[in-house]
Amino acid sequence: MNNADGNSPLRVAIAGLGVVGCGTIEILQKHSSELAVRCGRPIEIVAVSAKNKNKKRDIDVSKLRFVDDPLSLASDPEIDVVVEMIGGSEGAAKTLVETSLINGKSVVTANKALIAHYGVELAKLAEKSGVVLAFEAAVAGGIPIIKTMRDGLAANKFSRIMGILNGTCNYILTSMWETKRDFSEVLKEAQELGYAESDPSFDVDGIDTAHKVSILTSLAYGCAPSMDNIYIEGISRISLRDMRFADELGYTIKLLGISTQSDEGICQRVHPCLVSKLSMLGTVQGVYNAVFIESDFAGRVFLEGRGAGAKPTGSSVVADIMDIARGVKYKPFTLPVVAFSKSEFTGMDSLYGSYYLRLGVTDKSGVLAEVTKIFKEYNISLRTFLQHSHAPNENVQLVLTTHETQEANMLKAIESIARLDSVCETPFMIRIEEV
Amino acid sequence: MNNADGNSPLRVAIAGLGVVGCGTIEILQKHSSELAVRCGRPIEIVAVSAKNKNKKRDIDVSKLRFVDDPLSLASDPEIDVVVEMIGGSEGAAKTLVETSLINGKSVVTANKALIAHYGVELAKLAEKSGVVLAFEAAVAGGIPIIKTMRDGLAANKFSRIMGILNGTCNYILTSMWETKRDFSEVLKEAQELGYAESDPSFDVDGIDTAHKVSILTSLAYGCAPSMDNIYIEGISRISLRDMRFADELGYTIKLLGISTQSDEGICQRVHPCLVSKLSMLGTVQGVYNAVFIESDFAGRVFLEGRGAGAKPTGSSVVADIMDIARGVKYKPFTLPVVAFSKSEFTGMDSLYGSYYLRLGVTDKSGVLAEVTKIFKEYNISLRTFLQHSHAPNENVQLVLTTHETQEANMLKAIESIARLDSVCETPFMIRIEEV
């Protein structure tokens, strides 16, 4: 073990006693003797802090030293590691992490928003103090994706990271299809069950997934995380109708976060995708997360596991604490900030892919000829064509899929198609991802 | 970085220039500048050794210092790490690893046979010298399964590790089904293609998988690897006929390595299994490997990737070398040998599971009644019953599957069934694994 302090305990403070904070405490308490053997030293919880001391929780925290002001943990000489479980990219969480790092305390957090927005500044502080800033739990809950890229696949040049990174969205999409209900109804239920926040926009609008993609991009390609260069589209426009069409074509609809690097640059995007029902990603159900990592020597590696919840996320938090206890000490983004490459980002226009397009039309006999004429103009080749039965008072729904083409061309074609007289609804497009 | 030597290069010697040895050199050369940045210091190949210096290889080794006697690497003061790629659990490989560790050199190897049989003795030598003995590449090729259990899921108590751990067997089984050919024919082709050895017994008899299972057992439950306490059954008796029946029942046949820990003890087994066609393990094709890890907090984590080949296995070898370059220093089996638990192993008799049973019978009308009578005697409940059409000169094939029952009872029932007058072939049983 690389532990200069021998068998002295690692003294940990936990700020924020929500779901993940409590899960972390549960593991540290339940497995304390095993963890001590595995780390070569004990891990001790020396203080906790939360907004409401007496709130009903799944675990008993009454025997732990309670501190009203979390910021006081950052200057407490009895604390080695501050575990930030407050959340949010600004305010108390940010101040606590900054101050702790400046004061020479290692920080473990599950806060993806904070790392996505301020990761570089915080990494600089950690490097300057020679302490650890670790955030395994920020991406994909119980799946150790960050450590896999940093350690297990460290010998590789990465080319594509792609995954289902938000359990709430995957739960909603899975449940919509299984129970044949529409988005708003399932969202309401998810909120009642506690799977979705009362303000669900971070999840369903794809922002949470984008935070995670920006972190994975940084780890994969050795650059600063960038939330400015990422295309984001959520799942709120996905309808059961599109799911039925997708199913008929052999696909299921998933919200994917995708980051690729090619000669043109890095492309980061979050949007709903049609993926094969039989593919690894297509079979990921409910709150599970999954990630594909493509690299030059290891090839394609796939990881699946629980993406959220007290226990899986707590498992990742404690793994980070164990790294510190064991003396395993990486830079926050593996590379030191000075070694980051200045990366070029590419937009969606240059994306090359296949597309699903649904059109609500009045006159079905003429429209297909007009659409294929437009496709031909933009050098787009039709792959499949599908038409569902429809109620007498509804528009006819035509569904087309294309072979691979450039997104810029596809968007121009859709603009032209939208102007056709017989097309009476806004055309709805979903990208098809071959996985 | 935990590198006491600052930016001095890590000096590596590679003994054995077969597929994986060459893959390792290719990565170290192609990515040398990236690896230096990621590790904070360069990694240099200072010597290589092989039986035949001038053999035609995929990479050019003519510029590297060639040493005729690999054992001389173990005492060369210019070498920090010996990469053992000779193979085999005895002889040159064993002597080289032992001597290197005794002489204070870290060792990286892909040699599962060596680690399964002599892991504890070698770990003691490594611990005594304070050096690293790492073997990520010994299990599941490019999938970083050892690091995942050691680091990413380190906070958990493991209960089940289960996977497809031998690419040759999975290739043969996949190819048998896809091309509708029998075992011997596909094996012959696999040998011609270089996917199977001229003596294929290590792979097809399940021994290679067993080596890997014993290593994973040690890492999961903190005990010494044991090849004495492992049930091993290979794939040579699997027929296309059984694959067809399995398919009809919704299953596919895979060779699985399984290690579980319960209150009764640890159970290690390697045998063909019926797994659902739609399950994660059921969809793993060709030379891919895959592993399920079940633990108390992270829940079920699934990893899939390339299980063999120069590049993926080389990726895992280089990841181990990078750990050493970075100063990340674990005990070989994570826990020090003195902390190993003395584990109880359980045999197959106490196994509880479902079964597939195929019977070749002459008189189909009477036999089902007799079989169900015997099942009842042993408290076994029938789940499905299937009968295929058959040629006039063939026996009637009856296929039965059972609900969960104890293996001891199942084996006794099969003995009784085999003695029935109308049962004219040895009954063939395959375990069904719910995944």
> What's the complex ipTM?
0.95
> Taking each helix axis from N to C terminus, what angle separates A207-221 and A112-129, rounded to the nearest 10 degrees?
40
B139 interaction partners in chain A (CB closer than 8 Å)? none
Q: Give percent of chain B above pLDDT 70.
A: 98
Alpha-carbon distance of A3 to B344, in angstroms, equals 32
User: Is A6 a residue whose pLDDT tops 80?
Assistant: no
Task: Give the pLDDT score at A45.
Answer: 98
Q: Report, at the CATH architecture level, how domain A151-306 is classified.
A: 2-Layer Sandwich (3.30)
pLDDT, tens only, B358-384? 999 987 678 889 999 999 999 999 999
Judged by CB atoms within 8 Å, which residues 84-143 of B form the interface with A? 136, 142-143
Write the CA distances from A69 to A34, A49, B98, B431, integer angstroms: 31, 7, 55, 58
Instruction: Using pLDDT thresholds of 50, 70 and 90, give the confidence band for residue B170.
Output: very high
Cβ-defined contact of A312 to B327 (cutoff 8 Å): no
A172 touches chain B (CB under 8 A): no
Q: Which amino acid is at A389?
A: S
B144 interaction partners in chain A (CB closer than 8 Å)? 148, 151-153, 301
The distance between the two most distant Cα atoms of chain B, rounded to a whole number of Å, is 80
User: Is B7 a residue whose pLDDT tops 70?
Assistant: yes
B37 interaction partners in chain A (CB closer than 8 Å)? 222, 335, 339
Cβ-defined contact of B155 to A314 (cutoff 8 Å): yes
A318 touches chain B (CB under 8 A): yes
The tokens for B380 are: 């076994």
Torsion angle of C-alpha atoms B345, B350, B353, B354, degrees rounded to 10? 130
Cβ-defined contact of A299 to B306 (cutoff 8 Å): yes
The CATH H-level (homologous superfamily) assignment of domain B145-306 is Dihydrodipicolinate Reductase; domain 2 (3.30.360.10)
B157 touches chain A (CB under 8 A): yes
Task: Give the pLDDT score at B3.
Answer: 41
pLDDT, tens only, A331-382? 999 999 999 998 899 999 889 999 999 999 987 678 889 999 999 999 999 9
Cβ pairs A/B, distance under 8 A = 175
The tokens for B60 are: 């050019």
Side by side, the strands of the sheet bearing A133-134 are A66-67, A43-49, A10-15, A81-84, A106-109, A133-134
CATH topology of domain B352-432: Alpha-Beta Plaits (3.30.70)
Cβ-defined contact of B298 to A311 (cutoff 8 Å): yes
User: Is B48 a residue whose pLDDT tops 50?
Assistant: yes
Cβ-defined contact of B298 to A312 (cutoff 8 Å): yes
Within chain A, all domains assigned CATH 3.40.50.720 are found at 10-142+318-339
Average pLDDT over residues B125-147: 97
Alpha-carbon distance of A303 to B303, in angstroms, equals 5
The answer to whether the CB of B225 falls within 8 A of the CB of B122 is no
A58 touches chain B (CB under 8 A): no
Task: Give the pLDDT score at A389.
Answer: 65
Alpha-carbon distance of B421 to A383, in angstroms, equals 59
Average pLDDT over residues A420-427: 93
The tokens for B6 are: 């600052």
Task: Give the pLDDT score at B4.
Answer: 43
Cβ-defined contact of A315 to B280 (cutoff 8 Å): no
Q: Mark residue B295 as left, alpha or beta (left: phi above 0; alpha: psi -120 to 50; beta: remaining).
A: beta
Task: Give the pLDDT score at B249.
Answer: 96
Average pLDDT over residues B267-288: 95
Cβ within 8 Å of residue B194, ≥6 positions away: none
Average pLDDT over residues B247-258: 97
User: Within 13 A of B138's CA, how many CA atoms are on the CB side?
Assistant: 35
The answer to whether the CB of A100 falls within 8 A of the CB of A74 is yes
Average pLDDT over residues A282-303: 96
pLDDT, tens only, B376-430? 999 999 999 998 767 777 888 999 999 999 999 999 999 999 999 999 999 999 9
Task: Give the pLDDT score at A435.
Answer: 81
B311 interaction partners in chain A (CB closer than 8 Å)? 296-299
Note if the pTM is more than 0.90: yes
A239 touches chain B (CB under 8 A): no
pLDDT, tens only, A39-58? 999 999 999 999 999 899 98
CA end-to-end span of chain A:
40
Task: Give the pLDDT score at B6.
Answer: 57
Q: Give percent of chain A above pLDDT 70.
A: 98
Q: What is the chain B residue with the closest CA to A222? A: B38
B263/B5: higher pLDDT: B263
Three-state SS for chain A is: CCCCCCCCCEEEEEECCCHHHHHHHHHHHHCHHHHHHHHCCCEEEEEEECCCCCCCCCCCCCCCCEECCHHHHHHCCCCCEEEECCCCCCHHHHHHHHHHHHCCCEEEECCHHHHHHHHHHHHHHHHHHCCCEECHHHCCCCCCHHHHHHHHCCCCCEEEEEEECCHHHHHHHHHHHHHCCCHHHHHHHHHHHCCCCCCCHHHHCCHHHHHHHHHHHHHHHCCCCCCCCCEECCCCCCCHHHHHHHHHCCEEEEEEEEEEEECCEEEEEEEEEEEECCCCHHHCCCCEEEEEEEECCCEEEEEEEECCCHHHHHHHHHHHHHHHHHCCCCECEEECHHHCCCCCECCCCCCEEEEEEEEEECCHHHHHHHHHHHHHHCCCCEEEEEECCCCCCCCEEEEEEECCEEHHHHHHHHHHHHCCCCECCCCEEEEECCC
Alpha-carbon distance of B320 to B20, in angstroms, equals 14
Cβ-defined contact of A329 to B1 (cutoff 8 Å): yes
B280 touches chain A (CB under 8 A): yes
Torsion angle of C-alpha atoms A96, A97, A99, A100, degrees rounded to 10? 100
B322 touches chain A (CB under 8 A): yes
CA distance A100 to chain B (A): 20
Alpha-carbon distance of B143 to A32, in angstroms, equals 29
Task: Give the pLDDT score at A3.
Answer: 41
The tokens for A19 are: 């779901």
Average pLDDT over residues A248-269: 96
A315 touches chain B (CB under 8 A): yes
B142 interaction partners in chain A (CB closer than 8 Å)? 297-299, 301
Q: Give percent of chain B above pLDDT 90.
A: 88
The answer to whether the CB of A289 falls within 8 A of the CB of A140 is yes
Cβ within 8 Å of residue A392, ≥6 positions away: none
Q: Name the active-site residue from B56, B212, B329, B373.
A: B212
> Taking each helix axis from N to C terminus, what angle separates B112-129 and B207-221, rounded to the nearest 10 degrees?
40
User: Is B109 a residue whose pLDDT tops 90?
Assistant: yes
User: Helix (H, G, I), strand (E, B), or coil: what is residue B233?
Assistant: coil
CATH topology of domain A10-142+318-339: Rossmann fold (3.40.50)
Judged by CB atoms within 8 Å, which residues 194-223 of B form the interface with A? 222
Write the CA distances from A324 to A243, A355, B154, B280, B429, integer angstroms: 45, 46, 12, 34, 49
Task: Give the pLDDT score at B389.
Answer: 66
A36 touches chain B (CB under 8 A): no
Alpha-carbon distance of A324 to A129, in angstroms, equals 15
CA distance B366 to chain A (A): 42
Within chain B, all domains assigned CATH 3.30.70.260 are found at 352-432
Q: Name the active-site residue from A56, A212, A376, A412.
A: A212
Exposure of A300 by Cβ count < 10 A (0-12 exposed, 13-18 middle, 19+ buried)?
middle
The answer to whether the CB of B379 falls within 8 A of the CB of B352 is no
Within chain A, all domains assigned CATH 3.30.360.10 are found at 151-306
Query: Strand pairing partners for B251?
Result: B276
Three-state SS for A99-137 is: HHHHCCCEEEECCHHHHHHHHHHHHHHHHHHCCCEECHH
The answer to whether the CB of A306 falls within 8 A of the CB of B300 is yes
B332 touches chain A (CB under 8 A): no
pLDDT, tens only, B206-238? 999 999 999 999 999 999 999 999 999 999 999
pLDDT, tens only, A95-134? 999 999 999 999 999 999 999 999 999 999 999 999 999 9
Active site residue B212: yes
**Neighbour-count burial for B275-313, b at 16+ CB within 10 Å, e otherwise:** bbeebbbbbbbebbbbbbbbbebbbbbbbbbbbbbbbbb
Cβ-defined contact of B23 to A297 (cutoff 8 Å): yes
**Neighbour-count burial for B140-160, b at 16+ CB within 10 Å, e otherwise:** bbbbbbbbbbbbbbbbbebeb
User: Is B101 a residue whose pLDDT tops 60?
Assistant: yes
The answer to whether the CB of B268 falls within 8 A of the CB of B280 is no
> Of B142, B222, B327, which has the smallest distance from its Cβ to A298's Cβ?
B142
Q: Give the pairing type, strands B352-361 and B405-406.
A: antiparallel
Q: Give percent of chain A above pLDDT 90.
A: 88
B58 touches chain A (CB under 8 A): no
User: Helix (H, G, I), strand (E, B), or coil: what is residue B94?
Assistant: helix
